[in-house]
Amino acid sequence: MPENTDRIIEARCYYDLDVYLFSQVAKRFEQGDAFSAFDFYAIITWKANRAKTKVRSGLKAINASPAELMNRVRSIPDDREKLRTLDDVPGIGIPIASAILTVCYPKRFTVLDYRAWETLYEFKYVPSKTIPTDVDGYFEKYLPVCQRLASDMKISLRELDVALWGWSQKEDIEDLAAT
């Protein structure tokens, strides 16, 4: 058998980035391990693959590595400031910043995603179709709704995030199938 087969088999964990991020990266971050550039870009790829080169350029523009940025974020006690620090990096924005923080702090953050927002709007949990684009909007319009809904449903924020995203995905597929 060729010598690289073990390495190829080990790469299966990257097939489903969601599983990799929440079973390995989140655990390492919680234990205080250094945040690798690979793990940082795995989150970016998972959330918005199309944005990965913009995020890399944004980090270069502020002269920071992923590890330096995440060490800075880890040291900030205030959740709003954590989100703001990531949002300030050119190319990141609130949706990607919320994804990074969701992997790092899954009990305190959830991913702001157009699919999740769309589902909340469809079920009348939010009054506007317009997704928040700033830190205050995330903390005042999105996160409290998700926290309340997750609590009412007796599920975690992460489970709610998956369900909201899944509902929107299902609706898209049903629309395609109906035409």
User: Which of 113, 138, 141, 116 is closest to 127 using CA atoms?
Assistant: 141
Sign of the dihedral through C-alpha 36, 39, 45, 51: negative
- Please give the structure tokens belonging to residue 22: 């929440």
- pLDDT category at 112 given cuts 50, 70, 90 is very high
Neighbours of 158 (CB within 10 A): 19
Q: Tell me the pLDDT tens digit for each residue of 35-90.
A: 899 999 999 999 999 999 999 999 999 999 999 999 999 999 999 999 999 999 99
**Confidence check: pLDDT of 3 > 90:** no
pLDDT for the residue 137:
97
pTM over 0.85: yes
pLDDT for the residue 1:
55
- pLDDT category at 2 given cuts 50, 70, 90 is low
Q: How big is the chain by its Cα radius of gyration, in Å? A: 17
For range 11-19, the mean pLDDT = 80
More confident site: 30 or 7: 30
- pLDDT category at 9 given cuts 50, 70, 90 is confident
Amino acid found at 17: L
